[in-house]
Amino acid sequence: MGSCVSKGKGDDDSVHNVEFSGGNVHLITTKESWDDKLAEADRDGKIVVANFSATWCGPCKIVAPFFIELSEKHSSLMFLLVDVDELSDFSSSWDIKATPTFFFLKNGQQIGKLVGANKPELQKKVTSIIDSVPESPQRP
C-alpha cells in the first residue's frame, strides 16, 4: 500500500516541530476517514493501532517517531493517528483522559489499550498482538 505522509499543524511555531504522522501512519482528520480506515482494515484483515495525540503534548512527541518506526516495520497492522483537538467530540467518546492513548482494535472492537509514552510497553503490546494473530489468508 502507499505511504501517507503528513505534517503537523502548519501554524506550529515550535523550533523542534515533531512529525506525528509519517511512514505508514495515517492521519485521521474526520470521523468519516476514521470509519473508512476501519472498514479498510476489516477488509484487509488488519488490526488497527490508533494513537490519540495532541500537537501540544510533550509526552506524545517522545513516542511519535517510534510509532512511525513501528508502522514501517509492521505492515500487517494499520497505524492511525487521531488529533484529539481536531476530533475533540470523537476523542471524548473514547474517554481520553490523558495523551498519548493507544487503542488496539480488531473488527472495530477494542482488544487492548495503552496510555502513556512508554516505548518498551508499546513494543510489547504490538509484538503480543502480532504473535497472537495467525497469518490470515486473503479473501478471494
Partner 1 sequence: MAVSGFEGFEKRLELRFFDDDKPITKNPMGLRLIDFESLDQVLNEVQCTVVSAVANRSFDAYVLSESSLFVYPTKIIIKTCGTTQLLKSIRPLIHLARNLGLTLRACRYSRGSFIFPKAQPFPYTSFKDEVIVVEESLPKSLCYRKASVMTPSNNPSRAWHVFTASADVESDEHVVVVEVCMTELDRVNARSFFKRKGDEKNNSDSAGKEMTRLSGIDNINANAYICDFAFDPCGYSMNGVDGDRYSTIHVTPEDGFSYASFECGLSLYDNGHEDISEVLSRAIDVFRPSDVSIATTYGGEDYNHEVTKRVERVLAKKLDLKCRSRLMDEFPGSGTVVYQSFTPRRK
The residues that are catalytic are 57, 60
| Amino acid letter, 27 | L
Among 62, 69, 86, 94, contact with partner 1 (rule: CB under 8 A): 62
* Cell digits of residue 26: 495515517
Binding mask 100-139 for partner 1 (x = CB under 8 A): x-----------x--xxxx--x--x---x-----------
**Of 7, 9, 93, 2, nearest to 50 (Cα)?**
93
**Of 36, 37, 7, nearest to 22 (Cα)?**
7
Judged by CB under 8 A, does residue 45 bind partner 1? no
* Cell digits of residue 99: 495523551
Q: Can you give the binding site for partner 1, defined by CB under 8 A?
A: 14-16, 54, 56-62, 97-100, 112, 115-118, 121, 124, 128
